[in-house]
């Protein structure tokens, strides 16, 4: 497509034909550059090659491409041209006789004082206005019905903010923002700018509380966030400062995250905020310590606090008890927050919350661990899992002392499955009323077949073996996924993306309810984060599926049972 061309209604000639109506009706109202662009474009319609471009015209006329575009848009308002394409930029000339638009006459004398004052203000920053600049400012006032004195207030504010770096584009962008918000009179603009000045002082106090560099000047984004905190979220100035002081060192972005969390929790009073954030700091420290006891690396404590630590503290467990429970979990190979939570839920349900009660409970459990260690010495490699450890408690509930339990271990040492065999022996002794080593029948080294075997115990043992089989499958799959995740987390950006995506889910959920118009932008940002995350995994040679445990059996998902409740046939006896 040619850069400039005649419409089919125009008659092309080897010379330029300029309609008299253009000269009498439009030329007097246009500036010289706009006329120059129109005439040169008219020449190109007749004589230029199809590969002639906007950049070629800009080079010939010695001006930026944007200036030529503005001139063509000027003529488009009067129906003299039609912009067919913005990229690449292409224009089609229309016949002057059919044009219905009229040039917008600017009364230059009306803006004489405005132009002088604007020039004076810009000169302070070392800037000067050209004739074309004057026209742009005056047309802006005409098109947007903004009072000249209101515009001058905006210009002065922008000049004070930007200094020598001020540009016409910055002033126009700021003025357009005011127009969009309905501030077009001197009084409205003055009131809005005075709120800016007030907020500037309040933001300075926030910066000081955050230990942000004293010379930092608030940006538009900072003002926007501050208005969100005080207007949308409803925080008082003192509440914002209380949160900032607690952070001590951070950024406006990190303060925004904290205030969002406080808003979700309903904490708006400065005293409540200080108390909550102090607890939050304590929970974070406690979460890190629990993680070290469990052997779990905690990078971001927030999700652990929300799901576990805050709840445990609310239950009434102190930090000493929680750390002792975490150490016990590590000893019993239940070293995850989920496993620890199961133990704490059981203690809480039993009413065992105080330090003394937890201490007594763990003392009893540690004694069981010592006995289990002796069984391991006798029988060899036996898994120290929850199922096997629970049998110690069961055997003691059957009224067997440690000596009898160890005797059963000795008799089971050569078995391929020592624990189930021990259970059968002790069950047989219980049925026979044998609770002392002196009463064990001579020569009884194995369970007699038949009458002394309780079918219920057999079923319990079979169920335990089956559960242990699937538990091992899941543990191995989880361990493999954890290893791959640890490799991915060696990339700092990957860890950062995990945090950002987690926050993004919260933002999406809130936007869906409160600000649906923001959803497309948030979804687009999420897609970009996921794409970046996928690129990092590809570079590390990691498939997305490797980050989650992979099941061995697709039918039962390594649970042992299908959706209809029927036992899966994948179990290997």
Q: Is the pTM of this model over 0.85?
A: no
Alpha helices in 63-185 (DSSP H): 65-76, 112-124, 131-144, 148-162, 168-180
116 and 83 part of one domain: no
Whether residue 309 is contained in a domain is answered as no
Query: Is 383 strand, coil or helix?
Result: coil
- Sign of the CA dihedral running 478, 479, 485, 488: negative
123 and 178 part of one domain: yes
Buried b / exposed e across 541-553, counting CB within 10 Å, b at 16+?
ebeeebeebeeeb
Whether residue 555 is contained in a domain is answered as no
Distance CA 448, CA 78 (A): 108
117 and 94 part of one domain: no
Distance CA 175, CA 362 (A): 69
How confident is the model at residue 354, as a pLDDT? 92
Question: Which residue, 49, 80, 98, sits at the end of a domain?
Answer: 98
Unique residue bearing structure tokens 């979700």: 264
Question: Which residue, 167, 184, 201, sits at the end of a domain?
Answer: 184
CATH number at residue 40: 1.10.10.10
How confident is the model at residue 322, as a pLDDT? 93
Whether residue 276 is contained in a domain is answered as no
Distance CA 27, CA 493 (A): 59
Distance CA 572, CA 346 (A): 32
How confident is the model at residue 318, as a pLDDT? 92
Whether residue 429 is contained in a domain is answered as no
Distance CA 362, CA 347 (A): 11
How confident is the model at residue 224, as a pLDDT? 75
- Sign of the CA dihedral running 141, 144, 147, 149: negative
60 and 135 part of one domain: no
How confident is the model at residue 323, as a pLDDT? 92
Residue 567 forms beta bridges with which residues? 561
Distance CA 244, CA 202 (A): 12
Cβ neighbours of residue 515 under 8 Å, at least 6 residues apart?
Answer: none
8 and 94 part of one domain: yes
Report the helix count and the strand count for the chain, using DSSP H and E.
24, 3
Whether residue 459 is contained in a domain is answered as no
Whether residue 319 is contained in a domain is answered as no
How confident is the model at residue 325, as a pLDDT? 92
214 and 254 part of one domain: yes
22 and 84 part of one domain: yes
Q: Exposed (0-12), middle (13-18) or buried (19+): which is 380, by Cβ within 10 Å?
A: exposed
132 and 55 part of one domain: no
How confident is the model at residue 452, as a pLDDT? 42
Domain that holds residue 154: 108-184
469 and 534 part of one domain: yes
| DSSP-assigned letters across all residues of 87-112 | TTEEEEE--GGG---------GGGGH
Token pair, residue 471, equals 């538990």
21 and 94 part of one domain: yes
27 and 8 part of one domain: yes
**C-alpha of 206 from chain center:** 24
Question: Which residue, 268, 299, 314, sits at the end of a domain?
Answer: 268
Distance CA 206, CA 238 (A): 10
Q: What are phi and psi of 5, to 5 degrees?
A: -155, 160
Of 362, 420, 366, 416, the closest CA to residue 395 belongs to 420
Token pair, residue 15, equals 């010379």
Whether residue 413 is contained in a domain is answered as no
Unique residue bearing structure tokens 């949160």: 243
Buried b / exposed e across 469-491, counting CB within 10 Å, b at 16+?
ebbebeeebeeebeebeeebeeb
List the pLDDT tens digit at each of the 573 positions of the chain: 556 666 666 655 556 788 888 888 778 777 788 889 999 888 888 776 556 788 888 888 889 988 888 888 888 877 888 888 888 888 888 888 766 555 555 566 678 888 888 888 888 888 888 777 777 888 788 777 788 888 988 888 888 777 788 888 888 888 888 888 888 888 888 877 776 665 666 777 777 777 765 546 677 677 778 778 887 888 888 888 888 887 766 778 888 888 888 888 788 888 888 888 888 888 888 999 999 988 888 888 888 888 899 899 999 999 999 999 998 888 887 878 998 999 999 999 999 999 999 999 888 888 888 888 888 888 877 777 778 888 888 898 899 998 888 988 888 877 778 888 888 889 889 888 888 888 887 655 444 443 344 455 566 666 777 777 788 888 888 888 888 888 888 888 998 888 888 888 888 887 787 788 888 888 899 899 999 999 998 998 999 888 889 988 988 888 888 888 788 888 865
Whether residue 281 is contained in a domain is answered as no
- How many structural domains compose the chain? 4
């Amino acid at each position: 497509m040619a850069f400039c061309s005649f419409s089919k209604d125009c008659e092309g000639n080897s010379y330029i034909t300029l309609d008299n109506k253009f000269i009498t009706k439009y030329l007097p109202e246009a500036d010289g550059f706009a006329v120059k662009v129109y005439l040169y474009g008219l020449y190109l319609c007749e004589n230029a090659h199809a590969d002639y471009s906007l950049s070629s015209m800009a080079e010939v006329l010695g001006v930026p491409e944007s200036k030529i575009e503005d001139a063509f848009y000027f003529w488009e308002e009067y129906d003299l041209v039609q912009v067919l394409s913005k990229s690449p930029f292409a224009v089609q000339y229309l016949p002057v006789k059919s044009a219905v638009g009229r040039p917008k006459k600017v009364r230059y004398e009306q803006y004489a004082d405005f132009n002088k004052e604007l020039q004076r203000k810009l000169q302070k920053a070392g800037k000067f206005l050209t004739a074309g600049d004057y026209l742009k400012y005056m047309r802006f006032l005409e098109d947007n019905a903004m009072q000249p004195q209101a515009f001058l207030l905006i210009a002065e504010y922008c000049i004070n903010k930007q200094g020598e770096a001020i540009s016409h584009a910055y002033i126009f962008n700021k003025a357009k923002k005011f127009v969009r918000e309905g501030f077009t009179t001197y009084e409205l603009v003055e009131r809005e700018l005075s709120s800016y000045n007030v907020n500037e002082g309040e933001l300075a106090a926030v910066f000081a509380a955050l230990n942000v560099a004293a010379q930092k000047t608030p940006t538009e984004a900072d003002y926007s966030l501050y208005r969100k905190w005080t207007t949308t979220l409803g925080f008082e100035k003192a509440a914002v400062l209380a949160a900032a002081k607690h952070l001590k060192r951070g950024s406006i972005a990190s303060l925004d995250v904290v205030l969002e969390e406080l808003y979700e929790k309903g904490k708006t009073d400065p005293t409540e905020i200080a108390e909550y954030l102090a607890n939050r700091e304590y929970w974070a420290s406690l979460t890190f310590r629990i993680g070290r006891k469990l052997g779990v690396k905690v990078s971001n404590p927030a999700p652990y606090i929300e799901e576990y630590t805050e709840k445990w503290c609310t239950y009434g467990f102190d930090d000493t008890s929680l750390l002792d429970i975490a150490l016990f979990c590590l000893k019993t190979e239940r070293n995850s927050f989920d496993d620890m939570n199961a133990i704490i839920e059981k203690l809480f349900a039993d009413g065992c919350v105080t330090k003394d009660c937890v201490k007594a409970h763990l003392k009893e459990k540690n004694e069981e661990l010592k006995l289990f260690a002796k069984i391991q010495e006798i029988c060899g490699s036996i898994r120290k899992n929850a199922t096997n450890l629970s049998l110690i408690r069961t055997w003691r509930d059957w009224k067997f002392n440690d000596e009898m339990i160890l005797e059963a271990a000795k008799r089971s040492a050569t078995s391929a499955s020592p624990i189930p065999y021990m259970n059968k022996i002790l069950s047989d002794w219980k049925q026979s009323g044998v609770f002392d080593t002196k009463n064990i029948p001579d020569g009884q080294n194995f369970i007699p077949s038949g009458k002394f075997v309780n079918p219920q115990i057999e079923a319990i043992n079979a169920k335990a073996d089956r559960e242990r089989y699937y538990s091992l499958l899941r543990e191995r799959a989880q361990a493999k996924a954890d290893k791959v995740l640890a490799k991915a987390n060696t990339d700092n950006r990957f860890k950062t993306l995990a945090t950002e995506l987690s926050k993004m889910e919260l933002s999406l959920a809130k936007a869906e309810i409160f600000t649906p118009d923001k959803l497309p932008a948030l979804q687009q940002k999420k897609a970009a984060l996921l794409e970046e995350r996928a690129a990092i995994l590809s570079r590390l040679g990691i498939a997305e599926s490797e980050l989650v445990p992979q099941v061995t059996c697709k039918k039962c998902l390594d649970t042992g049972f299908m959706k209809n409740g029927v036992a899966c046939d994948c179990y290997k006896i």
